[in-house]
Structure 1
């Protein structure tokens, strides 16, 4: 089945509607407080959905069903850690942010360790977002390109050209409403776009259930016989080196997921900015904790789609279905099985997930650049109108930079031969830096003695140390068998090193 004219009309109308509704929802912006903090404060439930939508990329929509199709449900273990981590952030970090009436996550570090530490962590955040979101934006084009290709669209176009088209469309539409409406537009459009992509997933579930000969019970029976309903895996009975290298054993997922969530939701401006737009700390805590529950339910929904597809395609392998990987299984179903018009709606859902992530990145990068780096040094005497104008210029600059970064990664990824290691590094960069960021925050929050010198030394030692424990380019030059840890443990180890080194350097300097 190929895409119809109706499908393309649905996509175009959706993209135009997003830009218009985003601008309308934001209202007028007269200051950076309106632009970056939402003015008088946003409802906690809207912020909750915005946090969830920000975490959800197009790859979540496409790839999580493939996790269940090719494996089981042990991925859900990490969501328990996510909930625990958010509870810890709401109890120990959010009150400190609201107490100081902060506008970025890194002002806390300036109050504790001075402007140098704020600049270092803010810059680290920007580099992280540039690399990780550049790859993420490119990655959003992969399932879109797959679906458009399977649907017979853009015949004669190269993969690179299709990727550039998808990236450019996502970037331009997202920039329009983010540039004009600021954080308020971002949050309200996140709410709408989450409803769109969850609605699209629900429609897909209804259609696949209707086509299954034995319905839901038959699908669950097939999944159970294949061992796909397993949720818990404690991983006991294997060597320690293998145990810590497995990402989805219970304790690794619980502890690693919790610490990772503390870092991502307690130190990353991408999420912290949203939490600071609520009216008070109680609303912020409510939004954060409930977002963990919603994320767990969302992952469960997409894993459930994977189980249904496993029954729908009679447990066939990706190769038997003519696919390169199981990641293409949901895309195949969307193109070949959905009625006219609904395929276009699902593509619109994919754009929704992609734009939610990108709009959040643009606004958080602009806020950190403006408030952490520009305002303290170059805009002390600016009027509110001047600050707002600069903020919009910086938003536009970041949009160009992120789009260019995505184009660059697309070019690298599509080269013949072995794919460059830089792509793998870009995808994992957030996990590297979260350990350093979290360690700096914990050092400032729970260790009274260390000063800015100790914090700076600990921060950079933590960042560098992780490179030797994460499988990547450094390992190729190390002798013997280097220690490799699972990605949920990156943040645990990195933050522990920062705190340990910070306290040790203080003790040495004091002596």
Structure 2
């Protein structure tokens, strides 16, 4: 245990070093938020992957194959299609001006009201979604503290873990700015990919090669290597029906990588359009293989724990804490922290950016003050799952995806309408109301009909696009 703690302390010191090393170069907005567009596209690609690949991926993707199969790869295929559409269709518009926030692009087309509405919805969805991510990433730290013999309730241990994680992330985000976040992301990506590969190797070693070959055939018999779902269920959940999964994955990716400021920020921080396109499409391919790695871990955990009753969402955390020897336990916990901190630091920076530019708060507050504020706000948002997770029917990963899916569809429609050369048939204020109404409709339909998260994004897109098209038709007639 001492060596595990030493590894974690060393990791935190390295992260602090990055934050303070770049602190002197972050006084101006263009450096604090985009690093003056001086970072090579390869580092931005890895930063993008690290940002979107949070602790939910590290800890919850294995749960999907542990309790099911490899069908989540259908969504990953959709991700690649979606990013390609963004790279070819939306991205050229973002490089045509000098905007720092992509919501400024909407503001230039439709006015301040839609710009601020998009920013506000982005803020709420990020606080809720990334609050869940922060909560998940604190679980292994709490388990580690419990293993050390600290006799405190799990809830208190979790809050202590959240406090430590939030404190470290806020410090290097506030002082280092975007440049520190990107290079720390790259380091963290290397750490958690190494952690995933190490965990896979450890499971294989503990199962044994001969037994593993037999179990692989057994898993195939059980259908746990299944990727594509061609059977439509008339009464059950069709989240992974091949058509819904790939189209839904594409829409989710268009929404996240085409309209979500936190992820788009990494793309527009490069020098030119071609580099941005490389970042988008290349990241989709890297993410596909990451999912494959962690799904393999989940399948082998099913073999390792067959017959034991372990909650799927906690099975990988349980394996890490109970089976990984010291000091490798510290490395794997650091990998979990890396996956969480890369997302959280990016969220802090992007929330600071949108309120500085879209809400013009930079007139009163510095980028660092805004980053500090949103860092603290994220910490409080991470406490929400303590009240929800016991009653939520789906897994924690799907919970996070569902929250974003409610808002992504209407957001995509806004940017596609902005790309269209036609002017709106309504005022910017009414358009903002249409946008919010479309989100409400999507939530009502999703909850009322219990639709899968892969269908929510296309529905939201159709709602807003349909309302604007109807208004255009009525105006002409």
How does the TM-score come out when normalised to structure 2?
0.93
2:267 maps to 275
1:172 maps to 167
Structure 1 contact 450–503 (Cα < 8 Å) conserved: no
2:17 maps to 20
Change beyond 3 A, Cα 1:70–1:40: closer
Q: Bigger CA drift: 160-169 or 447-456?
A: 447-456
Residue 219 (structure 2) pairs with residue 233 (structure 1): no
Report the alpha carbon displacement of residue 410 of structure 1 after superposing the two structures with TM. 5.0
2:323 maps to 337
2:458 maps to 492
CA distance in 1, matches of 2:393, 2:320: 31
1:502 maps to 468
1:391 maps to 367
Once the two structures are superposed, residues 103-125 of structure 1 have per-residue CA deviations (whole angstroms, 9 ceiling, x without a partner) of: 11111111111111111111111
Residue 219 (structure 2) pairs with residue 217 (structure 1): no
CA distance in 1, matches of 2:281, 2:386: 39
2:138 to 135, 141, 147: 141
Residue 253 (structure 2) pairs with residue 261 (structure 1): yes
Report the alpha carbon displacement of residue 80 of structure 1 after superposing the two structures with TM. 0.6
Trace 1:3-152 onto structure 2 (pairs within 5 A). Answer: 4-24=1-21, 28-149=25-146, 152=147
Residue 323 (structure 2) pairs with residue 326 (structure 1): no
1:316 maps to 307
2:376 maps to 400
CA distance in 2, matches of 1:420, 1:93: 36
CA distance in 2, matches of 1:362, 1:413: 23
Report the alpha carbon displacement of residue 219 of structure 1 after superposing the two structures with TM. 4.0
Structure 1 contact 124–433 (Cα < 8 Å) conserved: yes
CA distance in 1, matches of 2:331, 2:43: 23
Q: Bigger CA drift: 212-221 or 327-336?
A: 212-221
CA distance in 2, matches of 1:504, 1:110: 22
Secondary structure of the residue aligned to 1:110 is helix
CA distance in 2, matches of 1:411, 1:399: 19
Q: Bigger CA drift: 446-455 or 116-125?
A: 446-455
Change beyond 3 A, Cα 1:195–1:26: farther
Q: Bigger CA drift: 361-370 or 332-341?
A: 332-341
1:252 maps to 244
Structure 2 contact 51–185 (Cα < 8 Å) conserved: yes
Trace 1:181-196 onto structure 2 (pairs within 5 A). Answer: 181-196=176-191
CA distance in 2, matches of 1:129, 1:37: 20
CA distance in 2, matches of 1:310, 1:420: 21
Residue 362 (structure 2) pairs with residue 347 (structure 1): no
CA distance in 1, matches of 2:425, 2:183: 40
Change beyond 3 A, Cα 1:440–1:168: same
For these two proteins, the number of residue pairs brought into alignment is: 472
Change beyond 3 A, Cα 1:40–1:135: closer
Structure 1 contact 81–253 (Cα < 8 Å) conserved: yes
How does the TM-score come out when normalised to structure 1?
0.87
CA distance in 2, matches of 1:114, 1:393: 27
Change beyond 3 A, Cα 1:326–1:134: closer
Secondary structure of the residue aligned to 1:470 is helix
Report the alpha carbon displacement of residue 100 of structure 1 after superposing the two structures with TM. 1.3
Secondary structure of the residue aligned to 2:59 is helix
Structure 1 contact 136–427 (Cα < 8 Å) conserved: no
Q: Which runs of 5+ in 2 are unaligned?
A: none
Trace 1:412-451 onto structure 2 (pairs within 5 A). Answer: 412-413=387-388, 428-446=402-420, 448-451=422-425
CA distance in 1, matches of 2:354, 2:201: 43
CA distance in 2, matches of 1:425, 1:197: 22
Q: Which runs of 5+ in 1 are unaligned?
A: 380-386, 476-482
Secondary structure of the residue aligned to 1:220 is helix
CA distance in 1, matches of 2:34, 2:149: 41
